[in-house]
Amino acid sequence: MWHVYVLRSEKDNLRYVDITQDIERRLAEHYAGRSRFTSTDLSWKLGYGKPSQAQCR
């Protein structure tokens, strides 16, 4: 199942939108600084997440 999620930076009020099939692993990567875009600011919090049956391409 795919998950659409939005992270919000508490520091800069930026948004990061992405999709994944493993939401727990992906969020752990963001929070550990292993994602290029979100690694420069570790104040990201999950703002929205929703599972989807739709197939993403």
In this predicted structure, what is the pLDDT of residue 56? Answer: 57
Q: How far apart are the first and last CA of the chain?
A: 13
In this predicted structure, what is the pLDDT of residue 55? Answer: 63
> Would you kindly state where each structural domain of the chain is located, as residue ranges?
2-52
pLDDT lower than 70: segments of the chain: 54-57
In this predicted structure, what is the pLDDT of residue 28? Answer: 95
In this predicted structure, what is the pLDDT of residue 7? Answer: 96
